[in-house]
A and B are shown apart, each in its own frame.
Chain A
Amino acid sequence: MEIIVCVKHVPDTASRIKINSDGNGIDTSDISFVLNPYDEIAVEEALKLKEAQGGKVTVVTLGADNSVSSLRTALAMGADSAIHLKSDNWTGDSYATAKALADEIGKNSYDLVLFGKQAVDDDSSAVPQMVGEFLGVPSVSVVVGLEIDGSNGKAEREVEGGKEIVEFSLPAVISAQKGLNEPRYPNMRGIMQAKRKPVNTVEVGVADSKSTVSQMEMPPARSAGKIVADVSELIDCLKNEAKVI
């Protein structure tokens, strides 16, 4: 089975985020970047399918030179090869991202394209479905269970208050949700082997951005709490100050 996993290089969620001087993005100078945690789940699922059914796992990312380190993480986990779509004018727009990924994926043979359900930086949750659309193949999002049998697949999705089972034919696009599996740690041998695995860099011009980020702001600082003397004062505050009851 040929599996393509699309990954994104994102700020570590534990990093302290600062807005850049232009006010339209984050200051990346002081923060560490990691493989998007949901994409780790997608990589793990691809590796499990490969281990069970054979095949090849290729990881793809779109981004600047530093995003190669997330490809290396995926290679260290056990992916076979990587494609780095390098772009100087990519701004992060979901449509443009999906278009660039779909153009590249379409050049390869594939049975399954896996994504994390969203990137933890912009939280758009948009690219996997768009890629499915561009490729003209079924896409199933927010998947917590996956079975592949020949050219058919069955996925379990989280829906409000329950679960949904979706059947589809391959090739297909799947986006992974927490609970699908427990991603492995890259091991030491894997990390050394990753150095010898091929990373194919493809220069892409990213066009068709449908949106631009015009402004970014930190959430307002929380104001200090208030200590009340008794329950009646509390109720009074909730009624008249906070106006919530």
Chain B
Amino acid sequence: MQKFQGVDYYNFDSLLSEEEILVRNAVRDYVEDNIIPVIEEHNQNCTFPMEVIPEIAELGVFGANLPEKYGCANLNNVAYGLIMQELERGDSGLRSFVSVQGALVMYPIFSYGSEKQKDYWLPKLAAGTAIGCFGLTEPDFGSNPGGMITRAVKDGDSYILNGAKMWITNGTIADVAVVWAKLDGVVRGFLVEKGTPGYSAPEQKGKFSLRASITSELIFQDCRIPAENILPNVAGLPGPLKCLTQARYGISWGVIGSMMACYDSALNYSKTRIQFDKPIASFQLIQNKLAEMITEITKAQFITLQLGRLKDAGKMNHQQVSLAKRNNCKEALNIARVARDMLGANGITDEYPVIRHMCNLESVKTYEGTEDIHALAIGADITGIQAFR
């Protein structure tokens, strides 16, 4: 199989700096050599490739946009996004793992934690010697996280947590969970360590999507944690929502990788698959599909690059992230579905990455804000009227 060459119809690379290209190429090469060869089997077996954690930590992808003093690379946000793109070209589960570690665990500890919490956890999380997870969503509170029922109560030098979280990536393997719970009616963040009595994280089974990623419940039954484990510098729902803005930013880039994988697969297949004595790429209906795909990929690249430039300039707002997350996930899933069609019967097998991406994208489109919820966020912003409160 020919090495993946990227998808660049509009000389997109000319807008990237030398180090942004170096970052992208390093991660692309790593994924090509080490993830693509093993991912189908992990996906079939519902296992996360644990063996790659030290490798991707060495590569420096965990919290890559955080400061060097914690062992991170201090990359700009475009380079960070390109990492997400290349990881997700491998698999959405792999990108989810890295997103959670960086955007949902390291970011809140970095932004809201005490110096002690930062100094203790960030180097370990950057080095991959500790894994993190983020507990916000509950069984009955998905799009409406503010309604959460998980509670924290102060008791002397401790907090006692009660409640349950669901759909938590990395939960079962996490050494530390960033858990959001209401303390006196206000959402606060807590660090709960693996092995704390009253805390368990059973894996959720039966997924048709993100199979090469661990998804868990987090259960807290009179779980007592030291009072110093509260994140001191955050109170209220905007705290966790800002983390989600970081993660959604990464998803916006990530799914471009899925789009590229599906497009690349469909393009190569249609040029070599012979029907009626000629490659199916010679048929107008196939060409139209490919033209639609490259158009949507190109649009997504430019929306997302500008989003990254705005983020680096400190001018990005969360509604703009909603627009990119919503658009890119929707179009990525469309591309995957069309690519699956184009591959015919072969499209349902693990000989090609397409159906794996297609199934994964059903989750990616749903988590961190569904298409509809992001439409409402944009709608509220442009009309000044909130439709959901």
| A residues adjacent to B (C-beta < 8 A) | 12-15, 32, 34, 69, 72-73, 76, 185-192, 194-195
Contacts and interface: CB of A to CB of B under 8 A. Distances in A.
B19 A191 contact: yes
A97 to B, nearest CB: 24
B22 A189 contact: no
Contacts of B74: 192
A194 B19 CA distance: 9
A13 B5 CA distance: 10
**For the complex of A and B, 6 pairs with smallest distance between CB atoms:** A188-B60, A188-B73, A187-B60, A14-B3, A189-B73, A186-B26
A188 B75 contact: yes
A51 B302 CA distance: 42
Contacts of B29: 185
Interface in B250-309: none
A157 B58 CA distance: 31
Nearest to B17: A195
27 contacts: A12-B5, A15-B5, A34-B25, A69-B18, A69-B21, A69-B22, A72-B22, A76-B26, A185-B29, A185-B30, A187-B58, A187-B60, A188-B23, A188-B59, A188-B72, A188-B75, A188-B79, A188-B83, A189-B73, A190-B60, A191-B19, A191-B75, A192-B19, A192-B68, A192-B75, A194-B19, A194-B22
A194 B75 CA distance: 12
A196 to B, nearest CB: 11
A29 B209 CA distance: 41
Contacts of A69: 18, 21-22
Contacts of A34: 25
Contacts of A72: 18-19, 22
Contacts of B23: 188, 191
B383 interface: no
A14 B2 contact: yes
A160 to B, nearest CB: 30
B22 A191 contact: yes
Contacts of A195: 19
A186 B18 CA distance: 13
B61 interface: yes
Contacts of B68: 189, 192
B361 interface: no
Contacts of B59: 185, 187-188
B50 to A, nearest CB: 19
A86 to B, nearest CB: 17
Nearest to B62: A188
* Most chain B CB inside 10 Å of its own CB: which residue of A12, A14, A189: A189
Contact of B73 (A14, A15, A192): A192
A76 B22 contact: yes
A8 B293 CA distance: 36
B3 A191 contact: no
A15 B59 CA distance: 25
A106 B25 CA distance: 34
A195 B29 CA distance: 21
B71 to A, nearest CB: 8
Nearest to B126: A189
B161 interface: no
Given A69-B18, A72-B22, A76-B22, A188 B5 contact: no
A187 B30 CA distance: 10
B22 A73 contact: yes
Contacts of A32: 5, 13
A7 B39 CA distance: 34
B22 A186 contact: yes
B73 A191 contact: yes
Contacts of B5: 12, 14-15, 32
Q: Which of B2, B5, B22 has the most CB of A within 10 A?
A: B22
A183 to B, nearest CB: 10
Contacts of B18: 69, 72
B192 interface: no
Given A188-B83, A189-B71, 8 more contacts: A14-B3, A69-B21, A185-B59, A186-B26, A187-B60, A187-B73, A188-B72, A192-B74
A73 B71 CA distance: 20
B122 interface: no
A72 B61 CA distance: 19
B24 to A, nearest CB: 10
